[in-house]
Amino acid sequence: MPSWPSGEGDAPAAPTARPRLIQIAMYLMYAGAALSAVSVIAVFGSRDQLQQNARDALRAQKQPVTSERVASLANSTMIFIIALGVIMVALWILMAIMNGKGKGWARIMASILAVANIWFNLRGLSIVGIALILVGIVAAVMLWLPASRPWFETSRRSRA
């Protein structure tokens, strides 16, 4: 029957090198950052669609549809999407770095962000969106596999 370690000397040896699963999860998170950056850049090519969406939104709200209002709404939408994209790139990179350091809170946050990523990308499904969903799910699962656990436990013990 397994027993709990009675002290530091009985604890399993702490991994000194980053486990392969964690390294792969980090690479996937960096890929997620790159895919998010591609999404941001793609917004510049969808200006016509944003303007059409702005016209439709103004008509649905029974607002006057002028070229100035359409341009203003389309520009505001574009700025919002770009800002959100920059935040997403930063979060992917931050999660890769912090999980690479074995921070337990980052593993939890990466999992929460992976679920949010599914919801966000299912709303406007695209090839890049599908890739982002898969990257997020696989990276999060890798962080929770049993072989990854010692990496995060070692980090927690070193702080205690």
26-40 per-position pLDDT tens digit: 999 999 999 999 989
Say whether 90 sits in a helix, a strand or coil: helix
* 53 within a domain of the structure (yes/no): yes
pLDDT value for 8: 57
Mean pLDDT of 52-61: 90
* 2 within a domain of the structure (yes/no): no
Length of the chain: 160
How many domains does one find in the chain?
1
**DSSP letter at 25?**
H
* 13 within a domain of the structure (yes/no): no
Domain of 69 in residue numbering reads as 19-159
* 41 within a domain of the structure (yes/no): yes
* 8 within a domain of the structure (yes/no): no
* 94 within a domain of the structure (yes/no): yes
Residue 20 pLDDT grade (very low, low, confident, very high; cuts 50, 70, 90):
very high
Q: Indicate the residue type of 2.
A: P
Indicate the average pLDDT of the chain. Answer: 87
* 65 within a domain of the structure (yes/no): yes
CA distance linking residue 47 with residue 38, whole number of Å: 15
Q: What are phi and psi of 25, to 5 degrees?
A: -60, -40
Mean pLDDT of 49-55: 89
pLDDT value for 43: 85
* 38 within a domain of the structure (yes/no): yes
